[in-house]
Amino acid sequence: MANLGIPQNTIEILQKYNFNFQKKFGQNFLIDTSVLDRIIAAAEITKDDCVLEIGPGIGTMTQYLAERAGEVVAVEIDNKLIPILEDTLSAYDNVTVINDDILKVDVNKIVQEKNGGRPIKVVANLPYYITTPIIMGLFENHVPLKSITIMVQKEVADRMQVGPGTKDYGALSLAVQYYAQPKIVANVPPNCFIPRPNVGSAVIRLTKYEEPPVKVKDEKKMFAIIRASFNQRRKTLVNGLGNAGIYGITKERVTEVLEEMQLSPTIRGEALSLEQFAKLSNLL
């Protein structure tokens, strides 16, 4: 099968099937072989790997994955793409395509069935409208993972990687950095896709920690505190958290704990590191 990373081959397939792009599914197909090579290299795929691909599109990256991985499972929501994938992936017997919404699929069950519950790798050029729920779903449902290597909107990749004191820092940065070590591996301009997206893109690799880098007594509580702290970014932590209605947390208690942590009573959430959020949550 022709390499779909070459623009002419993608155009031929799209014409053969008279395919119409669906904006609502975030369909921007990759047409750049060097970007595909970089994604695959960053994911360090070997024959020992079982890979989950989210949104295979016409199968461009799926072909690269099938060549290198032991097993590939690709979940695609758009049923118009299923006959195309049957065609473009016909040469491979290690690929399973599931026609479903990734947010509704039981990924833990797939990992159990396809890899005996052992950790998998996720590789995807994500639909940008649901980047955060996809990533958080994988982490919060404790899917056994080695790494997630994904193409996302450039700004979102920056948010995942930054630390306190920058404008991009927020609940997503802290959630990602609690579960994984992020590293941006490539910046990708709009002309690498058909159709071209309105935003720049980046490939980021999230290498899952075996143990989170901070010890937290109650993960759910820490994330509730983090969300409340960034919900009202301009407010001080005392006001933002004190009014959030989280069980047992009052303005007075937040003030006391900040004092114990030797932090200013007027500090904002955006100034706190993951370690400090963990300590704050444990003390509260």
Note the residues at the interface with ligand SAM (CB under 6 A).
25-30, 54-57, 60-61, 75-78, 81, 101-103, 125, 127, 130
What type of residue is 103?
A: L
186 or 222: whose CB is closer to ligand SAM? 186
28 or 115: whose CB is closer to ligand SAM? 28
The secondary structure element, H or E, covering residue 76 is strand 71-76
CB of 158 to ligand SAM, least distance (A): 19
CB of 27 to ligand SAM, least distance (A): 5
55 or 269: whose CB is closer to ligand SAM? 55
Q: Give 193's strand partners.
A: 30
64 or 230: whose CB is closer to ligand SAM? 64
Question: Is the Cβ–Cβ distance between 189 and 162 less than 8 Å?
Answer: no
88 or 173: whose CB is closer to ligand SAM? 88
> Angle at CA 42, nearest 5°, toward 14 and 31?
20
254 to 121, 145, 244, 276: CA distances (angstroms):
40, 35, 12, 13
62 or 161: whose CB is closer to ligand SAM? 62
CB of 131 to ligand SAM, least distance (A): 10
Question: Is the Cβ–Cβ distance between 78 and 92 less than 8 Å?
Answer: no
Q: Compute the residue count for the chain.
A: 284
What type of residue is 142?
A: H
49 or 236: whose CB is closer to ligand SAM? 49
Which residue, judged by CB position, is nearest to ligand SAM in the bound state?
55
CB of 201 to ligand SAM, least distance (A): 9
Calpha distance 2→5 (Å, rounded): 9
Calpha distance 231→269 (Å, rounded): 10
CB of 12 to ligand SAM, least distance (A): 15
CB of 57 to ligand SAM, least distance (A): 3
Question: Is the Cβ–Cβ distance between 172 and 180 less than 8 Å?
Answer: no
- Helices (H), ranges, 26-185: 33-43, 60-68, 82-88, 107-115, 131-140, 154-161, 171-179
CB of 122 to ligand SAM, least distance (A): 12
